[in-house]
């Protein structure tokens, strides 16, 4: 069995590489591996920062595997939503700073993986798109709430409702990513930043992270419940079946067969 996640530790910095050929579309196993790797980082007192990157050239993450989830859970939106949210929430709640090194395409709930990180570096060829509405559903792994928090309602509305691709320059302008680098400089820049983060006092870092997410935690439950409810309304419905069918050019029956 091919491992979807590779965790390497270099002194106080961990590098988590996601590699799910061909496009880093995440199924249930990949999400469980991701969650387990993040737990390993949290439990290792020697790790002081983490980089999350892709091991596939030209793509960071394309969200959920739409060849897997509609077949495995055609009428169980709760299971689909919970699995992705649980994995990404672990990243968000790490007591160590996390940095996403984004190269290539970021599609759908793959954006939530990046948004769960504290800092986002991207290569100049990176692009971002939320195509879910075209397929009859909405992102279900926390993307919408995180997007509103990071870039505001107006920009989040544009990305979600229009579904148009934006490039790295536009993404930096609206605050979706922090910095843009030439492709060849992305990982060296990410490692240098992660090393700097790892050198900072750990208790102060932990307190800073808690303070940054404190307000979000205070008000997140109502919004999270609403977002999950909206996802449940569309997952498995007629528009979803038609949209997934168009995506793969085949008929998807009421139970995903």
Q: Is the pLDDT of residue 90 over 60?
A: yes
Q: What is the mean pLDDT of residues 55-68?
A: 97
Residue pLDDT, tens place only, 101-148: 999 999 999 999 999 999 999 999 999 999 999 999 999 999 999 999
What is the predicted pLDDT for the residue at 221?
Answer: 65
Q: Is the pLDDT of residue 249 over 90?
A: no
CA distance 12 to 173: 32
Contacts 24+ apart (CB under 8 A), 37-42: 37/5, 37/7, 38/87, 38/90, 38/91, 38/94, 39/90, 40/7, 41/7, 41/14, 41/16, 41/94, 41/96, 42/90, 42/94, 42/95, 42/96
Q: Is 43 exposed, middle or buried (0-12, 13-18, 19+ CB in 10 A)?
A: exposed
- Extended strands (E) in the chain: 5-10, 13-18, 49-54, 59-61, 98-102, 105-107, 119-123, 127-129, 166-167, 179-181
Instruction: Give the pLDDT band of residue 224 (cuts 50, 70, 90).
Output: confident
Which two tokens mark 97?
Answer: 């700073």
Q: What is the mean pLDDT of residues 229-243?
A: 94
* DSSP string over 74-130: TT-HHHHHHHHHHHHHHHHT-SS-EEEEE-SEEETTHHHHHHTSSEEEEETT-EEE-
What is the predicted pLDDT for the residue at 222?
Answer: 79
Contact 98, 49 (CB under 8 A): yes
Using DSSP, state whether 230 is helix, strand or coil. Answer: helix
Instruction: Give the pLDDT band of residue 168 (cuts 50, 70, 90).
Output: very high
Contact 151, 143 (CB under 8 A): no
Query: Would you list the domain boundaries of the chain?
Result: 5-184
Q: Is the pLDDT of residue 157 over 90?
A: yes
What is the predicted pLDDT for the residue at 223?
Answer: 80
Say yes or no: domain 5-184 is CATH 2.40.50.140. Answer: no
What is the predicted pLDDT for the residue at 253?
Answer: 37
What is the predicted pLDDT for the residue at 215?
Answer: 57
Instruction: Give the pLDDT band of residue 255 (cuts 50, 70, 90).
Output: very low
CA distance 232 to 51: 32
- Strand 13-18 versus strand 5-10 pairing type: antiparallel
CA distance 176 to 38: 23
- Global confidence as pTM: 0.91
Q: Is the pLDDT of residue 213 over 90?
A: no
């Amino acid at each position: 069995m091919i491992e979807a996640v590779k965790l390497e530790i270099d002194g106080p910095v961990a590098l988590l590489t996601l590699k799910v050929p061909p496009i880093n579309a995440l199924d249930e196993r990949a999400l469980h591996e991701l969650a387990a790797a993040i737990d390993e980082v949290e439990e290792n007192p020697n790790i002081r920062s983490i980089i999350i990157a892709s091991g596939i050239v030209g793509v960071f993450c394309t969200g959920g595997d739409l060849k897997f989830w509609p077949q495995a859970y055609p009428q169980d939106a709760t299971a689909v939503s919970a699995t992705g949210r649980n994995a990404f929430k672990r990243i968000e709640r790490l007591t160590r700073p996390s940095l996403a090194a984004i190269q290539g395409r970021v599609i759908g709930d793959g954006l939530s993986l990046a948004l769960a990180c504290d800092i986002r570096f991207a290569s100049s060829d990176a692009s971002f798109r939320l195509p879910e509405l075209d397929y009859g559903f909405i992102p279900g792994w926390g993307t919408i709430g995180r997007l509103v928090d990071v870039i505001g309602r107006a920009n989040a509305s544009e990305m979600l409702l229009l579904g148009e691709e934006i490039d790295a320059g536009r993404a930096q302008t609206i605050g979706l990513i922090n910095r843009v680098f030439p492709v060849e400089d992305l990982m060296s820049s990410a490692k240098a930043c992660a090393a700097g983060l790892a050198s900072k006092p750990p208790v102060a870092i932990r307190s800073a992270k808690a303070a940054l997410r404190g307000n979000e935690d205070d008000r997140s439950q109502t919004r999270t419940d609403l977002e999950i409810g909206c996802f449940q309304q569309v997952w498995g419905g007629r528009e979803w079946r038609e949209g997934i069918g168009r995506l793969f050019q085949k008929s998807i029956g009421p139970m995903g067969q």
